[in-house]
Amino acid sequence: MKIIAKTMVLSLFFSACFLFIEVSDGFSEEYESLKGLQSIKAVFDVRTGNLKAAASMLNLIYDTYKDKSITAVTKKPDFAILFSGPAVKFVSKNWEGFALKEQKDLDRIAVKIATMSKEGIKLEICAIAAKVFHVEASSILPGIKHVHNGWISLIGYQSKGYSLIPVY
């Protein structure tokens, strides 16, 4: 009886492994939606108030920028990121009010911002949101352009054919 139980457990384990391999291979297939495109233009509207989510989403945006499916369409995709809402607090050099354990995520964001800026990803911050959330303009990380009204910037990007990606 113990042998049958072990055999069943092993069988289920290997079946799950093969299922995972099959699913993983499905993710590497070409994206039908990218066929025929000559360029990629996207604007990311980052306004999440969750620090960990913001850090993770910036990593995902950068990974998307570097993804081979995207770079197969165009070697240099045209990405822009607009920080508005509570997310403006996470792109400031002023970490006052953040717990010590949160500063690791703030540092990850600062490093990713610097990397993305060097890569040519456009970075903007809404000055209205910065004022509402008491973020001093002089404290904004280098490489981030200040725009008065982030919505106007988003309207401009979309009018120029950028796909809007909300990051709430």
pLDDT tens column, 83-112:
999 999 999 999 999 999 999 999 999 999
pLDDT tier at 4 (50, 70, 90 boundaries)? low
**Residue 133 DSSP class:** T
Query: Range with the lowest mean pLDDT among 9-13, 100-104, 136-140?
Result: 9-13
Residues 142 and 163 in one domain: yes
- The residue among 168, 164, 88 whose CA lies nearest residue 127 is 88
Residues 21 and 92 in one domain: no
**CB contact at 8 A, 62 and 42:** no
**CB contact at 8 A, 42 and 33:** no
What is the per-residue pLDDT for 118?
98
pLDDT tier at 5 (50, 70, 90 boundaries)? very low
Which residues span the domain enclosing 4? 1-30
Residues 7 and 45 in one domain: no
Residues 7 and 57 in one domain: no
Residues 15 and 79 in one domain: no
- Number of domains forming the structure of the chain: 2
Neighbours of 35 (CB within 10 A): 8
pTM higher than 0.85, yes or no? no
pLDDT tier at 29 (50, 70, 90 boundaries)? low
Residues 60 and 87 in one domain: yes
The Cα-based distances of 111 to 30, 139, 144 in angstroms read 31, 15, 13
**Residue 143 DSSP class:** T
